[in-house]
Amino acid sequence: MSFGNLAKMAQQMQAQLARVQAELDTLQIEGSAGGGAVKAVVTGKQDLVSISIDPGVVDPDDVEMLQDLVVAAVNEAIGAARRTAEQKMSAVTGGLRLPGM
């Protein structure tokens, strides 16, 4: 393989990575807990966008349960976003793990 072909392949991969990263910026993934009582939405870059809480689970005498549900929903959404990003990046890199990706 010539240097020219290798450089062209690297440029193509870089363009594909940029496309995937832009897609991850706009992708929104939801996680939920408590049977959907608490929902968290994150981007593909794992930035928290929103949290919604069903008023029926708000019990002033049990704030800890609500806190646990929020944490669980956020963690589920972040985990799903991480897996989605890994799949999309892996499709571009052929499974090669690149630093910072």
How many structural domains compose the chain?
1
Task: Confirm whether 16 is domain-assigned.
Answer: yes
| pLDDT at residue 64, rounded to an integer | 95
Task: Confirm whether 100 is domain-assigned.
Answer: no
Range of the structural domain that residue 37 is part of:
3-93
For 44-79, letters b (16+ CB in 10 Å) and e give bebeeeeeebeeeeeeeeeeeebeebbebbbebbbe
Task: Confirm whether 101 is domain-assigned.
Answer: no
Task: Confirm whether 98 is domain-assigned.
Answer: no
CATH number for position 86: 3.30.1310.10
Task: Confirm whether 32 is domain-assigned.
Answer: yes
Task: Confirm whether 75 is domain-assigned.
Answer: yes
**pTM greater than the 0.85 cutoff:** no
Which one is predicted more confidently, 97 or 63?
Answer: 63
